[in-house]
Amino acid sequence: MKKGIVLIVILSMLASAITWIIGAYNTLVRQEENVERCIGDVNTAYQKRADLIPNIVESVKAYAEYEQGTLAAVVEARSHASQTTLNADNLSAEQLKAFQEAQDEVSGALSRLLVTVERYPDLKASHNFMDLNYKLEGCENEIANARRNFNSAANSFNTTVRKFPSNVIAKFFNFEKKPYFEAKAGAEDAPSIGGMLAQ
């Protein structure tokens, strides 16, 4: 009789341990899938902006024929950024940094272009340009939201990977921490109007 009770207790403990391991593993998988979905959202948001850039360049080109250098910089930055995408299968801090630097290059080139537009009142008043500028603002908001959602998903996943006892399961099944998007250097400082005009 005692052997039967001991066996039942051992089997119950074993079943509880297996249930916990399966639950911890499934939580890690679910959170990693969420990170991967967020990577897709980030790529989509940046691609939307990249698809808008040729229309903006053409719109500016029609009015600002003397700004070829600025337009070329935007096109070149877009081309470089289009070659750099995030890949969920091998996401690393280095890959994320390279992606972010390429996208920051596009943002900088677009900022310089928009400062240049200030010299062309007819262009600023153009319905087509105003519409494109409005769409660009929408893209920038989508990018910010996608990056924020990615960082939130990565934080949730990283917390599970690091906390005990789920860290044992994470280590056993090779779940590794995900990197975060970081603010651009100097982003904590408000831009000065003089600095923007000097660009």
User: Which DSSP string corresponds to 69-97?
Assistant: HHHHHHHHHHHHHHT----GGG--HHHHH
The Cα–Cα gap between 109 and 86 comes to 21
**Residue 89's domain spans which residues?**
2-198
Query: What's the confidence (pLDDT) of residue 50?
Result: 92
Query: What's the confidence (pLDDT) of residue 199?
Result: 39
Q: How many domains in the chain?
A: 1
Q: Are 140 and 46 in contact (CB under 8 A)?
A: no
The CATH number for 143's domain is: 1.20.1440.20
- Per residue in 37-74, pLDDT tens? 999 999 999 999 999 999 888 888 877 776 778 888 88
pTM: 0.81
- Integer Rg of the chain from CA: 25
Amino acid at 179: P
- Per residue in 160-184, pLDDT tens? 999 999 999 999 999 999 999 987 7
